[in-house]
Amino acid sequence: RHPSVRIVDLIKYHAFKIKAYLSQLTGLVEDDKELAMSIKKFHIEALFNIGRIISESLTKLDFKQKDKKIDLDMIHISAPLEKTKLEHLLK
């Protein structure tokens, strides 16, 4: 990874790629009920696995200060990098 690419931006990039691929997969269904069921099962499997990955990462953080109130003004969620900029930096 290029040093100027932040890890959070890579995670956001891949999350949006997953969204796009799931959309493509769903678009394959048409009127095929068997394929629709298989894709539905895959969505459930992916949801479980991705949720578990995030949960396992989250449990590694220290939450001993449970009584401490979170200052919502301190939380900043940045927009993802533009796809073209990120792909250029990954080369």
- Separation CA 46–CA 34 (nearest Å): 18
pLDDT in tens, 51-86: 999 999 999 987 666 656 667 777 777 777 666 666
Q: Answer positive or negative: Cα dihedral of 19, 20, 21, 23.
A: positive
Length of the chain equals 91
Residues near 24 by beta carbon (within 8 Å), at least 6 away in sequence? none
pLDDT in tens, 10-52: 999 999 999 999 999 999 999 999 999 999 999 999 999 999 9
CB atoms within 10 A of CB 9: 18
